Structure 1
Amino acid sequence: MTMPKMTGDVMARQIKAIRPDIPIIVCSGFSGWINARAMEAIGVSAVLMKPVLYADLARTIRQALDADS
């Protein structure tokens, strides 16, 4: 969620404005910033909290891609 010059939610909105069909997975270490309803409203497919296990990342990517099929 915290990046130079832009937050993850702003980036997700901008991506969705260009490509509404693209799945977005937010990875963050700051749980206080994450609001599941707000992320869903933006169109974020999933939220992963750091540290992320590779198996969880792989499963989440697969689910996000399958949901948009």
Structure 2
Amino acid sequence: MQKILVVDDEFEIRELLSEALTFKSFEVLTAEDGLQGLKVFDEFKPDLAIVDVRMPNMDGVGFSKRILAAYPEFPIIIISGFLKQYNIEEIRSLGVKEIMTKPLDIEFLYKTIKNLLSL
């Protein structure tokens, strides 16, 4: 079973994605910010991460920098309702595989995950 880490400060988003992806037969673990996400990443060893860009303590950019510095090919999908406040090209240059805006299209997200994990 493929493992997905969802990192988002919004409880409702974590729950929605957890339920939707569990329904699609993924094992899902969640974290509420980038710092907690790093800890969960080390313990959980996910196959892919879905990460909100704007969070307290450590944002999605900081999380992505840390993970991709150690695992350059690790698939990260950035999600946000506030992408205009960030430099999209800078985020892409980190090695992030996909950037999506909220509200999410769950079917498109699922297809993207399948492509990234070669399922």
Greater Rg over alpha carbons, structure: 2
1:2 match: secondary structure:
coil
Write 1 or 2 for the structure with the bigger share of helix: 1
1:13 match: secondary structure:
helix
Aligned pair count reads 66
Q: Does residue 115 of structure 2 align to residue 63 of structure 1?
A: yes
Counterpart code for 1:40: R
Unaligned runs of 5+ in 2: 1-52
Unaligned runs of 5+ in 1: none
Q: Give the fraction of aligned pairs with identical amino acids, expressed as a percent.
A: 33
1:10-42 CA-partner distances (Å, limit 9, x unpaired): 110000112112111001110213433112210
| Alignment partners' CA distance in 1, 2:110 and 2:98 | 12
Corresponding residue of 1:36: 88
TM-score normalized by structure 2?
A: 0.50
Counterpart code for 2:54: T
| Alignment partners' CA distance in 2, 1:65 and 1:8 | 20
Measured on the aligned residues, the alpha-carbon RMSD in Å equals: 1.4
| Alignment partners' CA distance in 2, 1:37 and 1:2 | 16
TM-score normalized by structure 1?
A: 0.81
Corresponding residue of 1:20: 72
2:114 match: secondary structure:
helix
